[in-house]
Every structure is written in structure tokens, then in C-alpha cells.
Structure 1
């Protein structure tokens, strides 16, 4: 920032001399290799030297004093020192600023001064002074010396009054007093005859005194947002001819009469409690009155200059007559009202360009005039059964039409002759009753770029018709009954998005030939194979094939998809005993769509089998514009929850959020994320009780419970617009809420994870609620802000309640939000609940046992295997194709899974548990079971201390094949001493029931017993499922067993392919042909273990023969 002198050195070749202009001037000689380079530097340096330094920005440098060398420049006009720790006295302090003789603008906001520096009053050249957010309680009388001051910002302090000397500032035109403690309009403003802008937002005003405002005849703009205004008082009938702009948003007014403001041009009065509004129409240009309770809006005379009218989210039953007569009206928004009809005059307006009448009760549209200049027409969420026959013929300028969520069965034609003149580009017709008959009409709009026909009754899409939509860029055909996508889709060369999930498509469309295709969603269909071209389009970023149960992808196919950023496929079915049990209680599906954004900033966490296996964790994280924090929280929050549950039985949900907030570290300094976390578990105090649901959230992510078909909100929305208590707290802490309703202009949320630099205005403390689950609970829905902004709770529940596939349900919610106008990232999670009255749990952790009639051929549909580490987004089998291992699909290993058997190997008709006695049986079955070797620090079969694999263990790269003996026989007369870790039930059985003995042979089991026995007796007491939990008691090697035993620990789980970059770093997966090799230094130990295992097996066989011989 120092001025320099630059000159060529004549005695040295290609050398320039740079000399500083400070008191201790120093000269630097710089040599160059060529003459051209020397001359180029000389030209650029000379240009810089010739420029006079006038603006200096030293904000956010934690300065306590101004650098001394800065005072040598007398040309500084603008000096920004905000967000520092400037001292009031001493060298380089605020007392020294008067040395800048030309200084006109000074910003000292956020410096924690406590008192107004009197020395600033000596800088007579100041025209702009910002001293906001410094904890000031008063202004000194010397303030009257700043005679040239034009703009004075005092926001975010504790001022209650202004000194009389302030009236001397006759040049003052803008005065900012927002977020102070004023209870009335400062009377001193009457003396400021040039003052035209007065900002008093966030104060304590309760009455708008129009008489006082009338005496301030010079004021044009008044900002009274976020006060406690309840009424506007006018003692006289005298009109005010100066005020042109007034902002009364977020107050508590029930009626408002501003007819005395004859010059009012723009009024903001959103989010009040207004029932009636009266205004003068002489100068009115824009009126914003949404989110009130308006039943009448009176404007007289007819506003001839009005161009923008927003009356959405009110209780209007008809469009005001004066609005139909406004000759210059361009935008009319009356959505979310109670309109039953539209006046025909509104469509005759020659100026109207945008008409928003969605979410009303319209059954039909009025007769159309000969010419309709409308460009945007929103008719969604009405009761329309048809559109006017000549709509597309008379509305030739129409470019956007949204008629979603109606009852349309047909569409009007767009041409009366052979050629269509339609300019329609965006057409949204989702959630209607349209059939194949409407398709020929669609091709009459040759300019169509975006077409949404989701959730209709389409069975076919004629090939000849689709090929004519050559300008199509986005096509959504989800939720229909289509069996194929025509091959003529290849003619749509501009197509970049195809969404056709939840159909009956069995043949992969020829979509990969399109040069611009980026996103393809064919999930929840009936695909069996994929036809892939020799070269995939380079623009392809995401391919979703999940939910196609019969689809099998070969390794060659996966290699071809290796460059795709996101590939979603189904997990290979692999049930553990715990996942088989929990899948009977709940199953989940997740959908995340980027919309019009270039990146996805929403992540989900879905663990259907958490901790002990009889619990579940679901979460959603929305970073708004950052993707880093949602992914961090997705990866860490489940682990934090698991640790906190062991530390506290009451505060673990709150502590989970606080610890996760702390673990964000530097990433959470300036970035933030909304979060919602749902935890399903048994009550620790009453293990025999039903499941309970605990929900914690910050920000705008929400969860709702569908109980008996009705939505039950579980969260509190922490935003300035929707939570008055939070807005009051932020105001009291003197944060600056900008006009777009954001804290310090950053975020609308008042509680988030991250954003630590905005503390204490932004807090990580969550809202926590708990509710017991009942038989009436059907669904748990999670969504981010974008989802709930476009879908009501009731509509979301009714839209997916009848669907059996949670993945298809989640996809449908996102599709509906996009068709209703959402262009942002949208995320939805649907958890289907099946909670019985007893919510019983099997004694052996959900081990499925054969019934007396043998085995059933039916098997339970597996839930998505999960992990407490949260490595995959929702763990919905979303992974890059290059990361898919030899086991095609994505399954995540859970290091906390209990040792058990694969439930899919022992199918039966009816699940048995400690509450339901199992009939005596002497069936003996021997079944091989696939299990994985897993510990916290070992992957692909490697022990945490071993660098080489172990020889003799046959593996396919992600599973270790073992055999487990299961003996089911009568145990009458046997007395086994149960280990402390086991639990049993007190449910009595028949008098002749001899009980059931289950013997599982394991190698070096966790509790060091060779055999685990479970006996169901008549008088056994039921203990909590948590008593047999070994999780959380990890040893130094990260495992739950000693280091020497971790090698032989067998857990029924499948290890997930992990992403290789960023927060998903993991060792590469082993190929199926690879085998383990025993290191030389472990050969003797392995041989000794095998020998002991054989001896133990021989002894055990003798015991088994004795058990089998019992009556």
C-alpha cells in the first residue's frame, strides 16, 4: 500500500530501482534477464506509482492499531477497519486517525469499543461514518462537530436517545439506528431538514405515529421492520407528501390505514397479522403484503402506476376490483388464497405478464379475450379439470405454464392451422390424470425445453411424437406406467436430464448416445440389462439405476461407467440376523436431487441397523451453498451419537449436536449446515416397552411422523421468518438482520452446526423431542428446506402413504417439489414403520429360527445394510462405478454389529422372539454362512497389526466364508448357566414345553466361550437388549475384542466399498482371485490355533451326541 518511485538504472543492464516513500525510505534493485521483460515491468510499475492511493481495506485483520507507515499517505479517502480490536488511545490508535487530512469515509463497525471515541469528532472531513455493533449506550455532545457528515450508521448498539447536538448536522441525509432500543421516532429527526432515509428496524416501537412522521416532511424512506408495532395512529387528517418507501415487515399489526401517505410508492408489510389494508393509490407502484390474514385490500384511487402486486398466503376470496383496472400491472401474485374464480377482466389486461394463482380453489378459468399477453401462468394446486380450448392459441407469448396438482384429463390444442405459433418453453403437468391422448398435443409446442409429466396415467409415449421435440432439455416421466422410452429420444440432441423412475421400463433407453446428457434417473423400474455404446458422453455425471431388482451389472459394464461422478445401484442382498429383524420394523429410501444447481449440498444418513441392531438412526444435512459440511456431518454424526448414548441417558441428543459442531473444526468457522437427526430405540428404563423416537434438529431441516394418516410435526424450524422467539433473541443480541432476512446477511437460520464466527447469534443447540411409537405410526418423513417450502405436510403424507417402496416414495417427494417450482437442492427420506403392539425382539438378537413345519420359501426383503460410521450418503448404494468391488452393489459394514447368523439362510413363515415361545422342535440343519472379518482398524481381511493377509482363509475379497453349526433340539432337563451378557424372557410356555437349546460353534468368540447357549425357560426374567451389547467398549486397537482375538472375530456384515478421495479415503478392495497369505512370523501361531480348534471340535461333537440323545 506504500507509494513507490521506480526508475531505470543506467549503470546496470536490465535493472529497475524501486524506492519506498516512507520516512525510512528503502531502495530495492531488481534485475531482469531480457530487455523486453525489464521494459514491461517498468511500464506496469510506473502505472501503479502514478495512481494515488485513496482506498484502504484493513477489515478482519485483528488489528489493535493502524500501521504507522500508513500515515505517510495523505491521499487516503476511504478507510475500512471493521471487525478489528482498535484501541481508543495510544500510538496508531483511533486518536491518530485525525492525521488523515483527506479522510471522508471511515468504517469502525464491530470493534467492541464500548464508548464513542470523542477523537473522531475532530475529523471534520468525514462524510460517512459507520460505528455499528460497538456496544454504545450514548453519543457524546461533540458529535455536532461533524458538520460535513452525510451518512451516519449506528446500528446494533444500545442507544435509547440522541443528543440535541445531532441536530447541527444539517448535511445528514441517511441515519441508521436499526437494532437499538428506541421506543419512538427520535424527535431530533425533525431538525435534520435534509434527512431522507431513516432506518429504525429492530427497535422497540409499538405504535407508528403518523403525526410525528408528518412533521418530518423531508423523510422519504422509513424502515420499521422487526419492531413491536401493533397499530398506526393518525391524530390529524393531514397527509404526508414526502414518504415514498415504507417497510413494516415482521410486526404485529392487525389493520393498517396509510391512506394519508399520498406519495407512497412502495410498501412492504409481509408477515404481520393484517386483516384489512387501506392505501392511497396516487403514487403506488409496488405492494408486498404476503403472509397475512387479509380478507380485503382497499386502494383508492385506482393505482395507475402499480406494476407489482403480491397478495399471496392470505385469505382473499376474490381478486380486488381495483387490481383488474390497474393499467400498468405486470405481476400479480394471489397464490395460497381462497379464490374460487378469476375475474375475466384480469385476463384482458394488456400489461399483465405474470399471473400466479396457484393453491386456490379454482374449478375453471374465465372466458378468454382475443389476445392474452401473459408470459408466465401458474395454475398449480387448484381443482381444474380442463384448460380453456383456445388458451395456447390466444396466449402466444406464453412461455411458462404450471398446471400441476389439478385434475386435468386432456390438453387443448396449440394450433388452429397446420403450423403452431406457440412459444411455450416450460410446461409442468405433474400429478394430474393425463393419458396417452395428450401426447400429440404436446408436440404442437416445438419450443419446449422443460417438460414434466410425472405421476399421470401415461402408458406409452409414441416414438414419432417424442422425436419432434428437438429443443427438449429436461424430461420428467416418473410415476407413470411406461414400459419403454422410445428410441426417437436420440433426436433430442439438447436433452441433458431424463427422469423416469417408478415406471415399468424393462429396456434401457438409447439415452447414452446423446452428447449433452448429464443426469439419468431410471430407478424403481424393471430393467434387466443395459446396452452401452462404445463411448459414453463426457457430460454424463449421474446415473441412477437403484430399485431395479433384476438388474445385474458385470464388471466390464462397471468399468465403462468409471468416469461417472455418481452411480447408484442396488446393494447385493445380504442379511444379517439384526438387519433381518429390523427390516420387519422399518425400511428406508432416500432421494437427493441437485435441481438447477451445479452441486449437491444435501447429504443423508440412514442406518437401519444401528448399535445393538435393534435401533435405527436417520438424518439429513443441508449446507445451503456448501457441500463440505453436510458430508462431514454424514460421516461423523452417527459415531458421535453412539459415544454420547453411552455417556448419558438424557442429554445424548443435545450433546451429539454440540460435539459434532466442535468436530467441524476450521471447516465450521464460516460454513454452516442445517441438520435433523432421528433416533429409534427401546426405552432404556423399560426394555419391555415399545420403540421410542427421539428427534433433534437445527436450522430448516424437518422430520414429520405420519400417524393414522395425519402428519405430526416433530421439529422446530429455526429461521427468522418462522420462529419469532429466535428472531427476538437475535435482535436482543444486537445482530444485524438485513432486508433479505438474513443474520448479518449470511443465513436465514438462527441455529446451525458451524458458522462459529456468528456466535452468539447462530447457536448449535438443537430442539429435541421424544415420542413413543405406536401401531398407528406409518411413516417417518425427513426433508430439507426446499422440500417443505413446496410441499405441505398433509400433501407429503398423502402422496406417499400408499406406496410400499420407500425409495419410490422418496423419489416421488423430490419430483413433486421440482414440478411445483423448486429449483434448489432437494432431499427427502422416507422411513416405512411397522411397529407392532409388543414391538418384540428375538432373544438371540433377532435370530430367525425354523418353525415346526420346516422352512418357508419366502424371505424377507433386506434393508440396506448400514454402518455407524456413515460413509455413504444414506448408504443407498450410491458410489462411483470405479469403486465397486467384486461384490456388485454397495453394502456398508457395521463395526458395531453383534455376532449372529445370516437371517436369510434360515427363512421361515413366522418370526419368533422371547415374547412368543417357539414350539419344540428336533430339526437339525447345517448351513454354510457368509460372514466378514471386521475390526476398526482392519480392512479386506487384514488384522490391525498385520501387514500381510493370513493364509488358509479362503476369501472372495470382501467376505470370509465360514461354516456355522446350528443345533435345534429339545432341552428338557438341561441346566445351562447363562453368561451375564445374555438375556431371557419371562413369557411362560406350555407345561410340556421343554424349551429350545441353540448351540453355535464359534472360533474364539467375543466372550472367550467356545459355545454360546440360549435357553428359554418358564421363570427367566427379561433383561434389556442392551445388556448383551459389547459396543462402545473398544480397546486400544479400535476393536471391541483384545488385539490377539480380533483376527478371529466373525461378524455377519458385508464390507462396503469406500470412496477413495476426500473424506471417503479407504484402502482399495481386494480382487476375488486374491487369497490370504500367512506371514512367516505367524505360521506357528496359526497352526497352533487350528490344532486347538480341531481338538475342541472333537470334544464338542461328543457333547452334541449326548444332547441329541436326550428325550
Structure 2
């Protein structure tokens, strides 16, 4: 505050008041002043009625320096009609510890956009956080930022609390609670006494009303027990445990409604085993104490919280769950792997992804039951050799870490069949490294820094899936992978690709610079091949040996012609050839199973004459952006129509002469003939396309709209704009 005192504190009604005690300036970065406000809420609105809770003196003080501002600190009683609000005057350099000192509280919490509430570190600067938030939203002028930050309605997006707000969701394991008359045992010798009774998780907890939090609690497990009605006393239930020599508690309720509510909930607890607890995204810093009364918990989800490492009820207390098998601690910013987790002998699945871990301790060797370990999204550079002791480990996630090579410990992990190293820093890969890992079947090295994959003369028969998408490879030779079934190498800089086709089933190599693709041994099992967005000038010869090929994508290449056998592949159902330089298409004489054909953006003037006669299953045809002057028809004697449902013919040179050819496609749902040379579209022809749902005739020379368009009951989209010509069409027909 530049050494200036902001003046006396102004009370809620504008009266002057004494300034709060402040420590010596040597121990504080700036003076902090607190204005207390109790503002009534406006109906159901979350924002305060007044946009700014500051008086004229405070506003004048703010205007002297744009680095000054105010932070609104709210109380946590959300049920009260009065909102407890403290306005803290400070600067962008004021730390949270200084505000805590002036507020007289131990902690300060922040909530962004109604999401999780987290505790601020003492060195964090609240006003700087607000100013940065506004800057990220697009505000640039410092005076405007100061003005927006002074409005209390900003708290709808950025709110500070002097205590952690309570959430009913965090107490979802507490089903019911209340103060009732309780008798321990069933005989008249036991007296009735007023007690706090809580139905929590799978237990009934009975404690003293006065010391319910600190006194002795009697815990009765209900799983497998029974609930009985006490007939001698109205609205009374007896809670019995299945454990031997466990006491029985009789609880007398005040009304029939409460009696029914407890009976209904307790019966569910008795009959069901509540073994799974989800406390994700709850802003937890500690494990709720009531959870430890539920020893039957086997699955615990604590994802996206702020659990403390060294707190008594933090991560260290998880070893108290004696039956825990599945634990999710992802996104908790732990920093270090909690050693106490290694003591949970029952754990079979552990997720500690996105926690900023830099190393894995050797003590993980004690987790002998572990089958799944997720370490994704951390900062690991190595793995300890002790990890090899986990012989039951079958799934290990290491994606998005800082590993620069394949960890040697993988040779010992005989049950792990998939190497997940996506998003790491691997620059070079030698396939020889996998020769000693016979258990590995799948390799995932997406989004690394790979510039080379070094092949080997020795065959490696265990690898069936290989994924090197989004790297920097210029050549890839995988002939040594004799049983490779699926390859992903999209978005590299590949010019050459060499594979073994013995077991090959799918190849995805789009968005490279391929001019040469070699496959040794006939790919007789190949089902899907994607070579789109490359530099191929011809179709590789070995494709003709792929007798089971069902989908082929050769779009966005440099193809000028196609071999006759390509369209005639016996199993081919999907063929994409768009964005090439094709001038004609071959047409086989025998029937083919083709269902989808895309030849858009080529140089075609004609489609094969008998295309619809040999491709009887064709349902999708896109021939837009060519130079088509004609359309194929059916052979005589085949007037039953085709199965074609989608036909795109936009931007060609078709005239009215070929409109009658459309009526053979009686199953058409979508027809686009925009930007052709049409002058008329006979109403009688359109009337036969009764299944049409979408029709586009824009950019033609039509002078009128077919009158039968209103008869198309399924039509929901009809476009017939003039395409920029002076003459425009008026569409007056109604579409049913």
C-alpha cells in the first residue's frame, strides 16, 4: 500500500470504527484491513444486492493505485438468511498468511467456478489470483480489472471462505441421525436413557448426547443382523448384530414417520453390503472419520481431492481399512508416493495417476496382491527393480511421464502384456529390447519423441499390436514382428513403411508422406487399410492379395488410375478415393459387395455404366466436385430399384436429361444436386422419391420448385437458394 494507511474502518452502517491491530510492517508485505458486512440475500439469488460493499473512502483509496483491491471472504453458514461477509482491503502482494492474521482464522479457502474448494497455501496471494483470473478472461486495462474485482458478484465465479464449507455429499455414508431414548438389551433391568444415535455406513453408533464427538461410542455392525419391532413400546425398533455376544439396542422414536424412516433405511443396510464408496471431487483434505466404522469397504474412490500426506486422518490412515481392494487416489497432488499404501496387503488395484510423483519407492514390492497399478500423468523417470516382485501385476499404466527408455523391470513383469508409455520422452526404440519380453503383446508409444525404430534380424513373434502415432518417424520397418495384427502409425513423417503381412488385420497410416508401402507375405487376414493423406501415386500391388479386405481408404493421395481388381475385391464394402486425380473408374463384370463409395473431388466425367447393376448393396455414393455429365442407369429387366440411400452429386455438370435416372433409387433419403446445370426438376419424378428426408437443389437454373415437394412426408430439409444469382426462387410449398 505504498506505506499509506487506508484510514479508519467503516462499520456496516457507515460509522467510523477503530482500526484492527496490525503487526509491525517489517513482518508484513502490506497493511490489511477488514470490513465486516452482514448482507441479506435477495431471494434465491446467489449474488449480493449491492455490487460493491465499499464506501466512498475505500473507493477513493483504491483509485490511488491499481494494484490495490479488496477480497471478499465469506462465512460458511449457507442456511442462514444473512450472509456473513468480510471485505479485506489489500494489495496484489498481500499473502494469504497476512489475511489470516487480520481475520484471526487458521485457514483460507478458495472455490473457482463452483468447483472444488481447496485450502490456500500461506504464500499464495488472493488478490493476485483474482486479477490473474480476470486477465485470463480477457480484461487488459488495470483500472477495469480493479473495478471488476471490487464487485461482490464476482464471487459467483471466484469465492473465498474463512472456513471450509460443509457439504452434505461428503456425509453420504451417514444415512440417519438423531437424539432418542435408548435401552441396551431387551430386559426390564436395563434403563432407558437419552442418547445420540447415528446410522452410518453399515453400523449403528450410540453415544452420549453431551460428548457425542469426543466421548465413548458404541458401534454395532448391522451387516447380516436383523431389525425387529418392539411391540411393548410404540415406535420402537430393536437393532441386533450378527456378531456373537453383541448387545441389542432398542431405540424409541418420537413419531411414526421417524420410525418408518429408520426401519426402511436400516433394513437396506442389513440386507445389503455397502462395499463401494465414492467420495471423488469432494475437496477432502482428510478421510471422513465415519468411514472407519465401515470395515466392509472394498472399493474406495477418492479421486480429485486435496488429501494430505502427513495428516493423522489423511492418506496415512488408509491402512486402517482391512478389506480394501480397489483404491483411487488420482488427482490429489500428493507429490510423493505414500509409503503407508504398501502396508495394505489386500489391495489389488491402485490408481495414483496425476499426482506429481517423481519416483516409486522400493517398498512397492510388499504389495504382492496388486494386479493393476495406474501411474499415468506423473513425472517418473525410472522404475525401481523391486517392482518386478509383483508377479500378479497384469496392468501397468505409465503414460504421460518423463521416461526416456523402456524400463528394464518390464522383463520381470511376466503378467503384464501391454506396455503403456504414451506421452513420454522416448526418442529411439530398438525392437531387440522386446526379444526377452515374451509376455508383451501390445506396445503403446503414442506422442513420444521417436525419430527412429531400430529393426532386428531376429523374429519377434509375441507382439500383436504396435502404436507409434504422433511421433517424428521418417521410416518404419517392422518385418521382424511376424505376428503383428494391428498397426497405428498416423501423423508421423513416414516416407517408407515395411511390414510382415502374415497375421496383419488392420493398418492405420494416415497423414504421413508415404510413397512406398511394402508388405512381405500375402496379407490374407487384412480387414482394414487406411493410407489416406499420403503421397501415393498408385495402389500397392500387394493389396490385391488382401482377399478379406473390407475397408480401404486411399483418399487425399496422388492417384491417377485404379486397377480393375481393386473395386472387384470379393469382401470390400467401404472404398474411399476422394481428393485424388482419377479420370475414370473401372467397373467389374461380376457382382461386388460394395456398400459405400466416395470419389469426391476427382476428375471424373462419367461413373461406370453398370455400377448399380454390379454393386447391388451400394447405400452411400459421394461423387461431388467432379465433372460428371451423366449418371449410370440400371440394366433392362432390373427396374426394382437400388438400395442407395445417400447420393451426393453437388458441383458437377448434370443437366435435366439425367433427372429421370434418379427414380431408380426409390430408397433415397438424402439427395444433393446443388450447383449443376438443372433447369427443371419434373414433379412426377420427385413424387417417386417418397422416402426423401433431405433435398438440396441450390445453385442451379431452376425457375420453379416441383409442386410435389409437399407430398414428401419424410422431408425435413429442403434447400433451393439461388447461389448468388440475381434471380431468386420463392418457396411457398408447405412441407408436412
Please confirm whether the aligned pair reaches a TM-score higher than 0.5, indicating the same fold: yes
Q: How far apart in 1 are the matches of 2:272 and 2:427?
A: 52
Residue from 290, 298, 301 that aligns with 2:518: 298
Post-superposition offset of 1:292:
0.2
The 8 Å contact of residues 370 and 390 in structure 2, kept in 1 or not, is answered as yes
2:547 paired residue number: 327
Question: Relative to 1, partners in 2 of residues 1:179 and 1:16: Cα closer, same or farther, differing over 3 Å?
Answer: farther
Residue from 671, 694, 719 that aligns with 1:451: 671
The 8 Å contact of residues 20 and 27 in structure 1, kept in 2 or not, is answered as no
2:130 paired residue number: none
Question: Relative to 1, partners in 2 of residues 1:61 and 1:90: Cα closer, same or farther, differing over 3 Å?
Answer: same
Residue from 447, 462, 477 that aligns with 1:257: 477
- Provide, for residues 892-935 of structure 1, a one-character-per-residue CA deviation record: whole Å limited to 9, x for no partner: xxxxxxxxxxxxxxxxxxxxxxxxxxxxxxxxxxxxxxxxxxxx
SS in 2 for 1:208: strand
The answer on 1:167 being equivalent to 2:388 is yes
Residue from 117, 123, 134 that aligns with 2:338: 117
Q: How far apart in 2 are the matches of 1:414 and 1:457?
A: 23
**1:814-853 alignment, distance < 5 Å:** none
- Provide, for residues 580-616 of structure 1, a one-character-per-residue CA deviation record: whole Å limited to 9, x for no partner: xxxxxxxxxxxxxxxxxxxxxxxxxxxxxxxxxxxxx
Post-superposition offset of 1:351:
0.8
Question: Relative to 1, partners in 2 of residues 1:390 and 1:9: Cα closer, same or farther, differing over 3 Å?
Answer: same
- Provide, for residues 686-708 of structure 1, a one-character-per-residue CA deviation record: whole Å limited to 9, x for no partner: xxxxxxxxxxxxxxxxxxxxxxx
Question: Relative to 1, partners in 2 of residues 1:24 and 1:263: Cα closer, same or farther, differing over 3 Å?
Answer: farther
TM-score under structure 1 length normalisation: 0.44
The answer on 1:103 being equivalent to 2:324 is yes
The answer on 1:420 being equivalent to 2:640 is yes
Post-superposition offset of 1:246:
1.2
The answer on 1:409 being equivalent to 2:629 is yes
The 8 Å contact of residues 310 and 334 in structure 1, kept in 2 or not, is answered as yes
Q: How far apart in 2 are the matches of 1:453 and 1:12?
A: 85
1:149 paired residue number: 370
Question: Relative to 1, partners in 2 of residues 1:177 and 1:48: Cα closer, same or farther, differing over 3 Å?
Answer: same
1:591 paired residue number: none
Post-superposition offset of 1:92:
2.2
Worse-superposed segment, 76-85 or 380-389: 76-85
The answer on 1:76 being equivalent to 2:275 is no
Question: Relative to 1, partners in 2 of residues 1:27 and 1:58: Cα closer, same or farther, differing over 3 Å?
Answer: farther
1:471 paired residue number: 691
The answer on 1:88 being equivalent to 2:290 is no
SS in 2 for 1:345: helix
Question: Relative to 1, partners in 2 of residues 1:499 and 1:8: Cα closer, same or farther, differing over 3 Å?
Answer: farther
Post-superposition offset of 1:20:
11
The answer on 1:356 being equivalent to 2:356 is no
Q: How far apart in 2 are the matches of 1:320 and 1:23?
A: 81
The 8 Å contact of residues 350 and 374 in structure 2, kept in 1 or not, is answered as yes
Residue from 472, 487, 496 that aligns with 2:716: 496
Post-superposition offset of 1:172:
1.4
Aligned residues: 509
Q: How far apart in 2 are the matches of 1:55 and 1:238?
A: 49
Question: Relative to 1, partners in 2 of residues 1:243 and 1:13: Cα closer, same or farther, differing over 3 Å?
Answer: farther
2:453 paired residue number: 232
2:202 paired residue number: 3
Question: Relative to 1, partners in 2 of residues 1:351 and 1:20: Cα closer, same or farther, differing over 3 Å?
Answer: farther
2:588 paired residue number: 368
Question: Relative to 1, partners in 2 of residues 1:478 and 1:167: Cα closer, same or farther, differing over 3 Å?
Answer: same
2:733 paired residue number: 510
Q: How far apart in 2 are the matches of 1:67 and 1:483?
A: 75
**1:865-884 alignment, distance < 5 Å:** none
Question: Relative to 1, partners in 2 of residues 1:42 and 1:324: Cα closer, same or farther, differing over 3 Å?
Answer: farther
1:397 paired residue number: 617
Post-superposition offset of 1:266:
0.8
Work out which structure has the larger RCO, using CA pairs closer than 8 Å and 6 or more positions apart in sequence: 1
Q: How far apart in 2 are the matches of 1:498 and 1:171?
A: 61
Question: Relative to 1, partners in 2 of residues 1:29 and 1:91: Cα closer, same or farther, differing over 3 Å?
Answer: farther
**1:203-352 alignment, distance < 5 Å:** 203-234=424-455, 236-352=456-572
The 8 Å contact of residues 414 and 445 in structure 1, kept in 2 or not, is answered as no
2:418 paired residue number: 197
SS in 2 for 1:438: helix
The 8 Å contact of residues 16 and 31 in structure 1, kept in 2 or not, is answered as no
Q: How far apart in 2 are the matches of 1:129 and 1:31?
A: 46
Q: How far apart in 1 are the matches of 2:656 and 2:626?
A: 17
2:198 paired residue number: none
- Provide, for residues 362-410 of structure 1, a one-character-per-residue CA deviation record: whole Å limited to 9, x for no partner: 1000132320110000010000001111001111100000000101111
Q: How far apart in 1 are the matches of 2:247 and 2:287?
A: 16
Post-superposition offset of 1:111:
0.8
Question: Relative to 1, partners in 2 of residues 1:202 and 1:506: Cα closer, same or farther, differing over 3 Å?
Answer: closer
Post-superposition offset of 1:52:
0.9
TM-score under structure 2 length normalisation: 0.66
- Provide, for residues 668-701 of structure 1, a one-character-per-residue CA deviation record: whole Å limited to 9, x for no partner: xxxxxxxxxxxxxxxxxxxxxxxxxxxxxxxxxx
Q: How far apart in 2 are the matches of 1:252 and 1:16?
A: 74
Post-superposition offset of 1:354:
0.3
Is there any run of 5+ residues in structure 2 with no aligned partner, and where?
Answer: 1-172, 174-200, 204-221
Post-superposition offset of 1:79:
1.2
Q: How far apart in 2 are the matches of 1:451 and 1:398?
A: 15
The 8 Å contact of residues 587 and 611 in structure 2, kept in 1 or not, is answered as no
Question: Relative to 1, partners in 2 of residues 1:33 and 1:83: Cα closer, same or farther, differing over 3 Å?
Answer: closer
Q: How far apart in 2 are the matches of 1:437 and 1:403?
A: 18
1:176 paired residue number: 397
Question: Relative to 1, partners in 2 of residues 1:28 and 1:298: Cα closer, same or farther, differing over 3 Å?
Answer: farther
Post-superposition offset of 1:160:
1.2
Q: How far apart in 2 are the matches of 1:161 and 1:426?
A: 54
**1:1065-1080 alignment, distance < 5 Å:** none
Q: How far apart in 1 are the matches of 2:339 and 2:497?
A: 46
Q: How far apart in 2 are the matches of 1:17 and 1:245?
A: 61
Question: Relative to 1, partners in 2 of residues 1:312 and 1:23: Cα closer, same or farther, differing over 3 Å?
Answer: farther
1:887 paired residue number: none
Question: Relative to 1, partners in 2 of residues 1:54 and 1:414: Cα closer, same or farther, differing over 3 Å?
Answer: farther
Q: How far apart in 2 are the matches of 1:335 and 1:14?
A: 80
Q: How far apart in 2 are the matches of 1:25 and 1:89?
A: 38
- Provide, for residues 486-532 of structure 1, a one-character-per-residue CA deviation record: whole Å limited to 9, x for no partner: 121122111111112226454433224x0xxxxxxxxxxxxxxxxxx
The 8 Å contact of residues 16 and 38 in structure 1, kept in 2 or not, is answered as no
**1:656-1055 alignment, distance < 5 Å:** none
The answer on 1:388 being equivalent to 2:611 is no
Residue from 348, 356, 360 that aligns with 1:139: 360
The 8 Å contact of residues 415 and 444 in structure 1, kept in 2 or not, is answered as no
The 8 Å contact of residues 490 and 511 in structure 1, kept in 2 or not, is answered as yes
Aligned-residue RMSD, C-alpha: 2.7
The 8 Å contact of residues 289 and 312 in structure 1, kept in 2 or not, is answered as yes
The 8 Å contact of residues 55 and 79 in structure 1, kept in 2 or not, is answered as yes
- Provide, for residues 142-162 of structure 1, a one-character-per-residue CA deviation record: whole Å limited to 9, x for no partner: 111011111111122221111
Post-superposition offset of 1:23:
13
Question: Relative to 1, partners in 2 of residues 1:98 and 1:483: Cα closer, same or farther, differing over 3 Å?
Answer: same
**1:557-568 alignment, distance < 5 Å:** none
Q: How far apart in 2 are the matches of 1:71 and 1:396?
A: 67
Q: How far apart in 1 are the matches of 2:254 and 2:657?
A: 79
